[in-house]
Structure 1
Amino acid sequence: MTQGAPPPKFEVNTIDVVSVESSKITGVSLYSGRAEITRLYALSVPTGQNQVKISGLPNVLDHSSLRVEGRGAATIHGVTIAATPVPPIASTSDALVALEHKKERVGKAIARCRKSIAALETFVSSVSTEKINVQDLGSVVNGYEAEGEKLDDKLLELEQLLLDVDKDITIERARLRGSSHRNHDLGQTATISVFAETGGDIELVLIYAVRRANWSATYDIRVDMQTKEKPVTLIYKAAILQSTGESWEDVPLTLETVTPSFGTSLPELTPWRLSVWKPPSGTRHTMSVEGGPVAAGTRVRYRLAATTARKVKGSSSAEGMDDGNEDLTSYFDMAASAPMQHAELNIAAQGAMSATYQVPGLISIPSDGQEHSVTIVQLQLDATMSRVSIPRAETRVHLKAKIKNASEYTLLRGNASVYVDGSFISKSTVPAVSPQENFDCPLGLDPSIRLTYPSVEKKASKSGFYSKTSTQVFTQRITVHNTRSDSIEDLKIVDHIPVSEDSQITVKLNTPALTVLTNTGTLGGKNARPDPVKIAEGVIAQWDGAEEAEADFGSLGKDGKLNWVCTVPAQGKLNLQLQWEVSSPASVTVTGL
């Protein structure tokens, strides 16, 4: 088969296809904020030039993303897409008219029945002993009862029939409203020009991106405090929602952790020039900086080979729809469709910045805008438990876990429900975590550890003969009580001393005796991490942050923060002391103490 325009003698055949009725979604790749849909259409085309009009495509379809692939002995000559002309919204139907007529007839029958009952009552009321013999009274009463019962039964049947007709009218009106709603959401039509030298069956595949589809990561984090090895069970889930107008029924679903960029280009830097500002006479001269904003990137035109990694013979793209329709020509292959594969739970692709997850089996997501949860994987992870308290702010002890993501899965930022020993503790947030990275997870409060933080003790003195110096010594005591039946380790207690912002004020830490490094982070002329100070058995003190792997040694202690890391035996108590002194000229009033 050679490529070329069809002979002019062929007439154009129009084939109308309603997308949701005549196709099947064979794949959905879901990103954050958009999805890529793959739809398969099987149809027959006669010999000659054909225009396949596929209506009922979503309004949220990105025109520039549309591509067409196919199989069969035919040639694609062009692809266009435009809004479907909206027919007048049907306010009535033959069924609705018939129901309304039925309701009118039933209403008139009810009115007649009620008049008959009223007439019967009037007749009985008019009967008197002067007009009827006593021996005939029984037959009159019996006749009244029988006729009244028939009329009552008929009235009840008619009233029930009226209720049923009203219900049917409500259903038919809802159907009409629903039909107009579907037309509103699925209002795009793709027209594909296909030339067939011989008539036969072909397959068309439409691939397009849609907005109003999204997935986000959610987590259940379950911690077993009695287990030492892999105490954390992390259930990684995807919350999926879409309101594209199309229902995804039994589709293979792929979750993508990266969002594709459309129409982006590298920005340009404009020259950054300096000049001397020339002020009006009588004013002083100053320098000013002139620099324009970064120039906007030029518009990028995407061609078929650039928009898809699947460069398949027999494909076409509806690119540049905003600038006018553009014909692209290619041929169908005769090869049969590859069988659909349903991957088990696995990572379809893993990169340095993104990952692709294949959801096992088939899944259905209606176009309802509601969240639908899918489990990606359940992981058993190691964690290091620790307890932290900042008693100057509050004397409660917070429990947290440093969890290592020892898996192949990239964890996206998302909300998490935290459970400890089977009980719900709190809502938390999991940050973006790459494989083999650690992250902190708060596990609530530990009420079994009690801290006492009394008011600070203060002693003041003055020294100096000519220049008086005022010195104030502050002592803060902290008591820790472990009420548990087992010892606790790595309890961190954080506190701070004041920091001077004036050269006349000197702050000195007396207890614990921590060493202050130079601004360059050197100790004894060498770059070194300062050693913690041992306070007692199982208790060390250090500048806060010194234990971090990437600590800036030069900044340690500059903010006045320090901490103790303690081991407290079962039912044991621990006493800590923080002491510092503040010196200044006696004539100076120090604020902030």
Structure 2
Amino acid sequence: MTSADPPAFEPTSIELQSVADSKITSVSVYPTRAEVTRVYKFAVQTGQNQVYISGLPNVLEPESLRVEGRGAATIHDVTLSVADEVSQEFVPMFSPKLAELLSTREDKEDALTRCEQALSSLRQYLDSLTVQNLPVTQLESVLHQYETTGARLDARKKELTRELQRIDTEIAAENAQMAVPPEDHWLRNMAAIGVFAQTPGNVEIALIYAVPYASWTAFYDIRVDMDAKESPVKLIYKAAIKQNTGESWDNVPLQLETSTPTFGLGVPKLPEVVEMKHEEAAVMSTGNVNATFRVPGLVTIPCDNAAHNLTIVELRPQAVMSWVAVPKREAKTHLTAHITNASEYTLLSGTANVYVDGSFIARSTVPSVSPQESFDCPLGLDPSIRITYPPISKQLSQSSFYKKSATHGFTQRITVHNTKSVPVDGLRIVDQIPVPRNAQVKVKLVQPALPLGEGEGVTGKGAEAESNAGAGAGAKGKGKQSASVSVSKGVVAQWDGGDKTDRRVSWVCAVPAQGKINLTLEWTVTVSPADAQVVGL
């Protein structure tokens, strides 16, 4: 090298420990992984600086690693030394405490063996005594010495047994503790970053990387206040977050993502200095069920693979309560809320704990719901609405002239009692009259007097139509929408769902507080000829 040659280029080496020398500024949790942003601040010298960042997670996905930063410098190269290039196997060391415990246990086992041998020898000595070699005058003294020595040896044996049990417990605890790898065992990856600086100064770089073994799921608390006239439903949107990535997330800004991330390896240049801005908690919907939720405040999620629950938001959705009962099957009333998501939040599919007036009622589910969409949420049984459904009342058969046909009358009475202190509006009671399967059988609905469309096989009051086997399928959909009939104050009868072919009748009722209503379903069955055998009569 001549005097005109430039001096040899020696890069400045900078060593950083990831956890100690950085701060997590953002964590985005996806359904199956997370993206972590760590910011490092350090000083560089003029020229080439080689930055080594150790203690990165073993599970870091190499293709996801990218570098961003601020300062008058340029990033030249980024490489990742993954942990599997070095043995990751954890071999617990033999601790001095474990050696001491094992030595003590061996001493105690030897002492216990000697004690048991002494007891055995004492018994053998007593068994060997005879009247020839032991005068009667010495018998009492010998027996006394036997009892004293035997009691002392028994107590010693019990003491040694307890000590061995205690030592075994300590040995097991020590083995378990040594089997747990040190905290940094899961943080063995290292990143090497080349930074070229025109002038000495401080720079700031951010490492952004993805890690598996992190996830979140949505779940809900649905709280219903039956006494509330407006907004009776409160929906508490929650998230259960798990992570076992090797590093703890302590006091970090957290985002919950619903989409699947796409990561790529890149080496961008450092941009000009830009001040960081604090963003308020917000939600950004990106599709029907894709959204980003920024959780307010800072959150701590330790690396323990346990579910950590937090509240995303409390909503007061629009809700219409309805009740439905099918007393022919069971005298119970089912409560349902028709909920409209009037918020900007996308509701993800998840389980829901339902509380009515402060009491846990049932566990339900919430489907994926976009803003302004609606869903029906079953809220369980409402025991405050009591239904009485006595047996069917049958009338005597009446035969027509020359007994060509016979008519049978049937009456089903239903009583509904609202024990609430508030009225119930929108209670639907569903029942059914028989469906004839033969042309010889005709069914006539008497009460409630519901009209039927043309082509239907059962008729309302004052008219009759026949239904024969095989005609049901062709009759469906031919009739016009049935009109409703006012039965009494606050009670309207109609064909359930507008479908008259399966003979379901429903009453939509408004029941006053502490009030009762009575419903009647009455029909006749005419059989021709009169002596024909009909199943179900």
TM-score w.r.t. the length of structure 1 is 0.64
Contact 2:453 2:478 in 1 (8 A): no
Aligned equivalent of 2:509, options 558, 566, 576: 566
Q: Pick one of 436, 440, 444 that aligns with 2:381.
A: 444
Deviations 1:114-161 (A, max 9, x none): xxxxxxxxxxxxxxxxxxxxxxxxxxxxxxxxxxxxxxxxxxxxx99x
Work out whether 1:417 is the aligned partner of 2:353.
yes
Alignment of 1:501-520 (within 5 A): 509=445, 511-512=447-448, 513-516=450-453
Equivalent residue letter for 1:400: T
**Residues 1:102 and 1:237: Cα distance change in structure 2 (over 3 Å):** closer
- The within-5 A match list for 1:36-115 is 36-45=35-44, 49=48, 51-72=50-71, 73-80=73-80, 82-84=82-84, 85-86=86-87, 89-92=90-93, 96-97=95-96, 100=99
Distance in 2 (CA, whole Å) between partners of 1:92 and 1:255 is 41
Task: Give runs of aligned pairs for residues 370-519 of structure 1, distance below 5 A.
Answer: 370-438=306-374, 439-455=376-392, 457=394, 475-482=410-417, 484=419, 488-499=424-435, 509=445, 511-512=447-448, 513-516=450-453
| Greater Cα offset, 573-582 or 419-428 | 573-582
Separation in 2 of the partners of 1:590 and 1:81?
Answer: 85
**1:391 shift after superposition:** 0.8
Paired position in structure 2 for 1:281: none
Name the SS for the 1:545 alignment partner. Answer: helix
Q: Which stretch shows the higher mean deviation, 566-575 or 22-31?
A: 566-575
Give yes or no for contact 1:391–1:453 (8 Å, CA) kept in 2: no
Residue 333 (1) aligns with residue 268 (2) = no
- Secondary structure (helix, strand or coil) at the match of 2:63 reads helix
Is this contact kept in 2: 1:489–1:566, CA < 8 A? yes
Letter of the aligned partner of 1:422 in structure 2?
A: G
Separation in structure 2 between the aligned mates of residue 590 and residue 377 of structure 1, nearest angstrom: 61
Distance (whole Å) between structure 2 residues aligned to residue 584 and residue 368 of structure 1: 76
Aligned equivalent of 2:463? none
Matches within 5 A, 1:244-255: 244-255=245-256
Structure 2: 5+ residue stretches without partners:
1-5, 112-161, 456-474
Look up the equivalent residue of 2:494 and give its one-letter code. Q
Cα pair 2:58 2:82 within 8 Å, conserved: no
C-alpha RMSD of matched pairs (Å): 4.6
Q: CA deviation at 1:106?
A: 12
* Secondary structure of 2:180's aligned partner: helix
Whether 1:540 and 2:492 are equivalent positions in the alignment is yes
The alpha carbon displacement at 1:480 in A equals: 0.9
Per-residue deviation, residues 296-334 of structure 1 (Å, max 9, x unmatched):
xxxxxxxxxxx5xxxxxxxxx52xxxxxxxxx5542124
Between the aligned residues of both structures, percent identity stands at: 41
Task: Give the partner amino acid of 2:417.
Answer: N
Q: Is the 8 A contact 2:26 2:38 kept in 1?
A: yes
Structure 1 residue 22 displacement after superposition: 2.9
Alignment of 1:114-153 (within 5 A): none
- Give yes or no for contact 1:462–1:470 (8 Å, CA) kept in 2: yes
Match of 1:148 in 2: none
Sort the Cα spacing of 1:19 and 1:474 in 2 relative to 1 into closer, same or farther, 3 A. farther
The answer for the alignment partner of 2:210 in structure 1 is 209
CA distance in 2, matches of 1:176, 1:253: 34
Whether the 8 Å contact between 1:386 and 1:490 is mirrored in structure 2 is yes
The match for 1:155 is none
Aligned to 1:34: 33
Letter in 1 for 2:325: S
What corresponds to 1:178 in structure 2? 180
Amino acid at match of 1:259: S
Q: Secondary structure in 2 aligned to 1:76?
A: strand
Residues 13 and 31 of structure 1: CA distance in aligned 2, closer, same or farther (over 3 Å): same
Quote the offset at 1:411 in angstroms: 2.3
Partners of 1:435 and 1:544 in 2: CA distance: 30
Whether the 8 Å contact between 1:389 and 1:397 is mirrored in structure 2 is yes
Cα distance in 2 between the residues matched to 1:585 and 1:244? 81
Which amino acid letter does the alignment assign opposite residue 534 of structure 1? S
User: By how many angstroms is 1:375 displaced?
Assistant: 1.6
- CA displacement, residues 177-233 of structure 1 (integer Å, 9 cap, x when unaligned): 3335752x4454444444445555433312222222222222222222222122223
Counterpart of 1:4 in structure 2 is none
Gaps of 5+ in 1: 1-6, 113-158, 263-306, 308-316, 319-327, 547-555
Give how far 1:31 is off. 2.4
Q: How many residues align?
A: 458
How far does the alpha carbon of each residue in 1:357-378 deviate from its partner, in whole angstroms, 9 at most, with x for none?
A: 2211101011212221212222
Distance 1:477 1:380, change over 3 A: same
Q: Evaluate the alpha carbon distance shift between residue 216 and residue 540 of structure 1 in structure 2; reply closer, same or farther with a 3 A threshold.
A: same
Cα deviations by residue, 1:25-76 (Å, 9 ceiling, x for unpaired): 1111122222221112234455555554444433443333322212231323
- In the alignment, structure 1 residue 260 sits paired with structure 2 residue 260: yes
Contact kept? 1:81, 1:188, Cα under 8 Å: yes
**CA displacement, residues 375-409 of structure 1 (integer Å, 9 cap, x when unaligned):** 22223344333322101110122333333433332
Matching residue of 2:239: 238
Partners of 1:403 and 1:435 lie apart in 2 by 11
The 1-side partners of 2:199 and 2:408 are apart by 101
Residue by residue over 1:555-584, the C-alpha shift from the partner in whole angstroms, topping out at 9 and shown as x without a partner, is x23444331112345443413114264868
1:29 and 1:40 map into 2 onto residues whose CA distance is 15
Retained in 2: the 8 A contact 1:355–1:410?
yes
- In 2, distance between residues paired with 1:182 and 1:589? 85
Worse overlay, 27-36 or 577-586: 577-586
The code of the aligned residue for 1:477 comes to Q
1:497 and 1:580 in contact (8 A); partners too: no
| Partner Cα separation in structure 2 for residue 446 and residue 452 of structure 1 | 15
